[in-house]
A and B are shown apart, each in its own frame.
Chain A
Amino acid sequence: MITPRQLFYKRLVSEWRFQYTAWKPAVDWTVALYILLPATALGLYGYLSLWRQPPAWLALIPLNGLMIVVFYFAWSGTVRIFIEEADQLFLWQCRDWIRQLIGFGLGYSAAVNLLLTILLFALLAPVLLLHFRLSWAQSGLLAAITFLLKMDLGLARRLMTSQQQSWPLLNPRTALFLISGVAFTWAIRPVLNSAALCLLATALLLFLFIILIRARINSRGIFQEDVAREASARLRYASFALRASGVNIKKPGPQRRCPWLWSRSQPLFGERNPVNCLTETCIKLFLRNLNELKLYLLLSVLCVAFAWPYGAWAKLAVWCCYAVLFAGWSSFYWQHTAASDFMSLLRWKQADLSAAARKSIFILMLPGFLLAGLVLGFQAFSWPGALATLPAAVPLGYLATRFVSRFL
């Protein structure tokens, strides 16, 4: 007969199989050959350059600034427990099974988060050791504290039930984010400089870890939330890959009563015609989805980080190519909007759809493209460089949009 451990392994294998199936069509041999392999080679070259000689621009970044990135890493991600909707039929009443299943899930999440933390600190090692002059012991302790913080924040967020708040600042998640973020970024330096404080911080986080794990394993009444979060976590990155392959994925919907943006259904465009309404729909769907916004921001940050190590003109050349990347990324949002079930109930003229596609893609790609241009332009040629990217972004974005929309 089946044991809880066997059931967990089955669910884990199913999860891996799902992710593999989702990503396989999107990452075919052309993507691997023309994008992944060159990007990996360039990235490796940039990383090895950091070890040889940290670049001068690192002097602009204080340790606290880097800790903001580290904190964001600790905040991001999720803790999985592999609960499924059908568990409510009979498994939910078998508390021992559920406790074990959740325990295995938390163990798996801890292992994954540990690997990710090690990877992050391996990438940050040249900056921490050579530029900020931290010792190996201090860097190791920082990694340990980051890992424990990541687990604690993930568990704490899972224990919070979702609240329908009209004012985001009253949301306990926001409060947790602000308090833990400020505490981490400001306290980390003194903690790393004192063995006693280091021990205290590690012990505190470990204690919290144990308390939160026990609370999570024994909590009841948040089953539906857990199921929704598991579904979201499963589709977190897979939905992007599936959309890239043309599959329309319906993610679990939000639990708010009103949207946080345009809560009174305000229009974006004065003139009400099919093109503007379609464009408005696409923009609102994107901006009201925090997960999509986070991914978009992450893309912008990664683009900046990727081009960062190179010379001034190379930076700007890469930035120009980013126009196609951002336009392509934004086209996924348009395709998701156009392929939704509700849209298929209405009859649209092809000309209107095409015009709305171009308008949506152009509007959505510009902010990220502009942000990357401002940062890279500033880094390349200071303020004149940054300001020069502003007028250049519009025609580049327009051309990239025309190019990408031809393939829709």
Chain B
Amino acid sequence: MDTLLSVKIEHAGYAGNPRAVEDVGFSLRSGELLGLIGANGAGKSTVIRAITGLLPELAGTVNFQRPDSRYAYIPEQPVLYDELTLWEHLELAASAFGLERREFLDRAGRLLELFRLDKVRHHLPGSFSKGMRQKTMLIIGFLIAADVYIIDEPFMGLDPPAMMDLLSLLDRQRVRGAGVLLSTHVLDTAERICDSLALMDSGRLIMQGNLEQIRAACNMPGAPLLACFNKILESI
């Protein structure tokens, strides 16, 4: 499997705290769903901001597979343009990535139907629910055929059907070859859906691997991820 994203952060942070995260390194492969796991304040969102170039302080490297690789970023709090309709968001994204008009119309129409947002294509996002806003951001990612999906705390505020929708749609992209980096502190969901996990605490990566590897490292075969995570934290 190709490596789509390679992250090697020596330290990264903000003006008042340049070492908010330290020694974080992982790779995301094609078709993989990598879970960035940790409690609130562990540094997950900081790592994501480092990857998306939103941090003022970064020592290290963040390399996408190709210079023209595209990523789709879905932040924890959906941010959309208050004064653009859903359709105008898609047009803007298509223009920014040089999509041909005909191809854009075809893809956008299909995606709006798939996500069941066709009837609100000319509505402003202020009237959308959180699930609808997340779908809008996902549509943008699918429209531009992103290589990497970076999703920060996707399950907060989503009802179970919306969660299933989200996972099912991401699965389709993984089949296409995209990689998904997903941060969450909902460990029982993470252990069921993630191919591999990177556990963070206090700004550092404390363990990574798939669930079996983590269980083996903790000497807790068959144990839930939550139990393994707690054991790791106790041993630090």
Contact = CB atoms under 8 A, between A and B. Distances in A.
A164 B93 CA distance: 36
A2 interface: yes
A91 B137 CA distance: 12
Given A89-B73, A90-B140, A93-B70, A1 B95 contact: yes
A86 B70 contact: no
Interface in A188-232: 220-225
A221 B93 CA distance: 21
B128 interface: no
Interface in A146-176: 161-164
A89 B96 contact: no
A97 B96 contact: yes
B54 A223 contact: yes
Contacts of A90: 72-73, 93, 96-97, 140-141, 144
B53 A220 contact: yes
A321 interface: no
B227 to A, nearest CB: 36
A225 B54 contact: no
Nearest to A14: B83
B56 A161 contact: yes
Contacts of A224: 54, 56
A250 interface: no
B15 A86 contact: no
Contacts of A61: none
B172 to A, nearest CB: 19
Nearest to B64: A93
A194 B188 CA distance: 75
B118 interface: no
Contacts of B97: 90, 94
Contact of A86 (B53, B79, B91, B95): B79
A92 B144 CA distance: 14
Contacts of B54: 88, 92, 221, 223-224
Contacts of B55: 221
Given A1-B95, A2-B95, A85-B79, A92 B16 contact: no
B177 interface: no
A347 interface: no
A40 interface: no
A52 interface: no
Contacts of A94: 96-97
Nearest to B53: A220
B73 A88 contact: yes
Contacts of A220: 53
B52 to A, nearest CB: 7
A223 B15 contact: no
Chain A at the B interface: SS class: loop
A3 interface: yes
Contact of B92 (A2, A14, A161, A164): A2
A30 interface: no
How many of chain B's residues touch chain A, expressed as a range?
20 to 34
Contacts, number: 73
A151 to B, nearest CB: 23
B182 interface: no
A349 interface: no
A1, A3, A89, A94: residue with the most chain B Cβ atoms closer than 10 Å: A89
A7 interface: yes
Interface in B88-111: 91-97, 99, 101, 104
Nearest to B71: A93
A255 B70 CA distance: 32
B128 to A, nearest CB: 13
Interface string A1-21: 111000100000010000000
A135 B70 CA distance: 58
A6 B92 CA distance: 10
Nearest to B75: A88
A292 interface: no
A257 interface: yes
Contact of A221 (B58, B75, B92): B58
A161 B144 contact: no
A280 interface: no
Contact of B53 (A85, A221, A255): A221
A2 B91 CA distance: 7
Contacts of A97: 96
B57 interface: yes
B57 A93 contact: no
A348 B70 CA distance: 54
A25 B44 CA distance: 44
A10 to B, nearest CB: 8
Interface in A62-98: 84-86, 88-94, 97
A257 B75 CA distance: 25
A7 B92 contact: yes
Interface in B40-75: 52-58, 70-75
Interface string B1-35: 00000000000000110000000000000000000
Given A1-B91, A94-B97, A163-B15, A86 B52 contact: no
B74, B80, B95: residue with the most chain A Cβ atoms closer than 10 Å: B95
A221 B96 contact: no
Contacts of A164: 15-16
Contacts of B73: 88-90
9 contacts: A1-B94, A1-B101, A2-B91, A2-B92, A86-B80, A89-B75, A89-B137, A93-B70, A94-B96
Q: Which 10 A-B pairs have the closest CB atoms?
A: A164-B16, A1-B95, A2-B95, A221-B56, A161-B15, A94-B96, A86-B81, A86-B79, A223-B54, A85-B79
Interface of B: 15-16, 52-58, 70-75, 79-81, 83, 91-97, 99, 101, 104, 137, 140-141, 144
